[in-house]
Amino acid sequence: MKIVILGGDGFCGWATSLYLSTRGHDIIIVDNLSRRDIDNELGVSSLTPISFPQERIAAWKEVSNNEIKFHNIDVAREYDSLLALLKKYEPDAVVHFAEQRAAPYSMRTPKAKRYTVDNNTNATHNLLCAIVESKLDIHLVHLGTMGVYGYGKFENTPIPEGYLKVQVPQPDGPALEREIMYPADPGSVYHMTKTLDALLFYFYNKNDKLRVTDLHQGIVWGTTTDETGRDERLINRFDYDGDYGTVLNRFLMQAAIGFPLTVHGQGGQKRAFIHIRDSARCIELALQNPPQKGDRVQIFNQMTETHRVGELAEMVSKATGVPIQKLENPRNEMERNELNVMNENFLRIGLKPIKLDEGLAAEVTDIARKYAYRVDRSKILATSRWRS
């Protein structure tokens, strides 16, 4: 397949690009490097020393003999360039990772809130509009989030894959059975943009019959894949700071440098997780199983397990001896929630989940230990607050 990867220089996008390239797909990365710019703005950098895009791609050619193309385009602002790119390459699919993805960053300042909404909704809308204008039958695979559902909105009721069966009462006669989009319940400006994306997909699918798969992904953990581990120049991004670092990777990094594990509140928040290797595999499966023309938006829950934040901290603490610190929660979120997520779609089409185990966790801690000299301890605590 010929596949355009929007956001292919990022954490998930880079690992996925190499994974798909190894499997014989023709990969074209589009990225405006805004993630690297935000690191500069925040005065932090990836724990791992990531190479420049050109250097990464040259290293990949050297190691694998596969060529990946790279275009620096701002998908949210450079519509004409995006359209020209689609017309030039005529891809079978576009995988869309190109959004501002940190909830804390999206709540940091009015400027960051507005940037997140402008960037994310414009990127998605430009892509949809360009696919229609190109007249190409492109399968759009988008990385959404579990956070569109809220977490355990209806207590322990399993969260279905995008659509909820409901009974609509009728004034006279029996109730109608319908499937509706699961009620959106975002918990940050970032998560809100993903619920807006879902509505954009709904409309373009209904109006223009675009073929769309929206992957509601949980928190991605881990860092290395078979491909990124082949050469240090291919190393993947590892975010650890208070805005971009995600919880499990943060705990593993903190354990590696002996920094007390930063649990927000009492740690009763339950979240969904997936390893970076499974994330790349899921995208391959989604590409191999596209919806047919005329099908509604296909929605898969891309996660493999759920854990409570406090329990993860205890697990890491027990394995490493590093203590836990319970901090005032900077976020506005439920102190404790249940989370029961259905993921039958991916299991049905071949996902064999990698589960959190000590070996994999140790792999991340080893990476963190190796690059511990790059940690800026002053950037670890979360400082973005949901309410002033």
Residues that bind ligand USQ (CB under 6 A): 101-103, 145-147, 218-219, 246-247, 250, 262-264, 269, 271-272, 309, 329, 331, 333
Kindly name the residue from 115, 190, 240, 371 that is annotated as catalytic.
Answer: 190
Residue 194 appears among annotated catalytic residues:
yes
Nearest to 15 by CA among 97, 102, 120, 93: 97
Are the C-beta atoms of residues 250 and 265 closer than 8 Å to each other? no
Q: Is 190 among the catalytic positions?
A: yes
Q: Cα separation of 7 and 12, whole Å? A: 8
Pick from ligand USQ, ligand NAD, none: which does 250 bind, CB < 5 to 8 A by kind?
ligand USQ
Select the residue interacting with ligand NAD from 4, 50, 56, 74 (CB under 6 A).
74
DSSP state of 76: T
Residue nearest to ligand NAD (CB): 10
- Confirm or reject binding of residue 39 to ligand NAD (CB under 6 A): no
278 three-state secondary structure: helix
Q: Which of ligand NAD, ligand USQ, none binds 159 (CB below 5-8 Å, type-dependent)?
A: none
Beta bridge partners of 180: 164
Mark 216-245 with x for binding to ligand NAD (rule: CB under 6 A) and - for no binding. Answer: -x-xx----------------x--------
Least distance from C-beta 150 to ligand NAD, angstroms?
Answer: 15
Euclidean distance between the first and final Cα of the chain, in Å?
48
Amino acid at 326: K
Q: Report if residue 197 touches ligand NAD, rule: CB under 6 A.
A: no
Interacting residue with ligand NAD among 20, 95, 98, 375 (CB under 6 A): 98
- Which residue from 74, 123, 98 is spatially nearest to 8, judged by alpha carbons? 98
Selected catalytic residue, list 48, 116, 145, 213 = 145
Closest CB to ligand NAD among residues 139, 216 = 216
Counting Cα atoms < 13 Å in the Cβ hemisphere of 226 gives 9
CA distance 168 to 166: 6
Catalytic residue IDs: 145, 190, 194
